[in-house]
Amino acid sequence: MVEPKGTYVPANIARLGHHDRQARPPRRGSSFGRVLFLLSLMFDYLYFWQNMLGNLLLLMS
């Protein structure tokens, strides 16, 4: 069998470079949105308890 002139690259290695170029970047938006959602829930919860304790202190004084 006659091999082509130049450097021989096996097919599976040649495909690796192609696959790397086609890879999608990581999705950052979805996790960032979840963090914002959880932070808003946390602040709503803290605001609720701050108001409850404030009202309780007003009633006790």
- Rounded Cα gap, residues 49 and 44, in angstroms: 9
Please report which residue ranges of the chain form alpha helices under DSSP H. Answer: 11-22, 29-60
pLDDT digits (tens, 9 = 90+) for 37-58: 999 999 999 999 888 888 888 8
pLDDT digits (tens, 9 = 90+) for 2-31: 656 677 666 665 566 555 556 777 665 567
Q: Give pLDDT, residue 22.
A: 61
Q: Give pLDDT, residue 1.
A: 58
- Rounded Cα gap, residues 28 and 21, in angstroms: 19
Q: How confident is the model at residue 34 (pLDDT cuts 50, 70, 90)?
A: confident
- Rounded Cα gap, residues 23 and 25, in angstroms: 7
Q: Give pLDDT, residue 54.
A: 86
- Rounded Cα gap, residues 56 and 45, in angstroms: 17
